[in-house]
Amino acid sequence: MSYLPISSLLTLTLLVIFGYVVFEAAGQPMQAKLFPMTVGILGFVLISLQLGRELWTAWTTDDTKPVEKINQQDGAADFAITDVEQSRIGRLRAAEQFGWIAGLLAGLFLIGFYIAVPLMVGLYLWRHQERPRFVLIMTVGTAVVVWGLFNQLLNLPFPQGLIQQWLF
């Protein structure tokens, strides 16, 4: 037998979410709770079945035998994950991308859209060893698009960063 696989943590999280959907809906008037209760109970039952299935599979799996690889997304309307993406280097690269996203978000709050977005483009290209001239063109081009197209033409009111607010 095997212990509960890590992938079941997601199933467990979903079970908690559906439990919460039902729990919060319970105290509301009929008009507001009818649909949440319907969906919540349905989701809870489905996820319970899925979790039961995963537990059963883990319980009955013989560790001494090689595991048969089943692609859960065979025929699915979604791209299946590839072996490269599942490899250690693939995961490290994915982690790096999350770092870039988090950095961009922090940049948006701290220095605002006008600086953070072109800066991210420039730094990303520089980190991946693109030619300096290309990095410069792309950075300036992004700054022009953010300011010219989105702010001036489409009137998007980008908020100032916290640092600018503090300085000025």
Partner 1 sequence: MQRAGVEIRMSMLDAAWAGLLGIMHWKAFLLMMVGIVISSTLVAMPGVGSKTAIALLLPFAFVLEKFEAVALIVSIWAVSNTANSITAIMFSVPGGGGSQATIMDGYPMAQRGEAARALAAAFTASALGGVIGAIVLLAAIPVVRPLVLLMGAPEFFMLTMMGVVMVGSLSGNAPLKGIAVGALGLAISMMGIHSLSGVPRYTFDSIYLFDGIGLVPLTIGLFAIPELIFMASRGQGVSNVELGNLSEGRRQGIKDAFTHWWLVVRSAFVGVWVGIIPGLGSSVADWFAYGHARQTCKGAHETFGKGDVRGVIAVDAATNAKEGGALIPTLAFGIPGSSTLALIFGGLLIVGIKPGREILTTQLDVTFSIIWLLIIASIITTLLCLLFTRQLAMATMLRPSVLVPVILAMAVLGSFANSNRIDDVVVMMGFGIVGYVLRAGGWPRPPLLLGVVLGPLAENFLWTSFQVYGFGFLVRPGALTLMVVLVVIVVYPSLMRRWYASRNSRDPKGAN
128 three-state secondary structure: coil
Based on the shown chain and the rule CB under 8 A, indicate whether residue 31 belongs to the binding site for partner 1: yes
Give the footprint of partner 1 on residues 117-156 (CB under 8 A). Answer: 117, 120-121, 124-125, 128-130, 138, 142, 146, 150, 154, 156
Read off the DSSP letter of residue 130. Answer: -
Give the footprint of partner 1 on residues 33-72 (CB under 8 A). Answer: 34-36, 38-40, 42-43, 46-47, 49-50, 53, 70-72
Nearest distance from C-beta of residue 136 to partner 1, angstroms: 14
- Give the tokens for residue 2: 């095997």
Based on the shown chain and the rule CB under 8 A, indicate whether residue 115 belongs to the binding site for partner 1: no
Q: Which residues contact 4 (CB under 8 A, 6 or more apart)?
A: 54, 55, 58
**CA-CA distance, 127 to 16, in Å (whole number)?**
40
Nearest distance from C-beta of residue 45 to partner 1, angstroms: 9
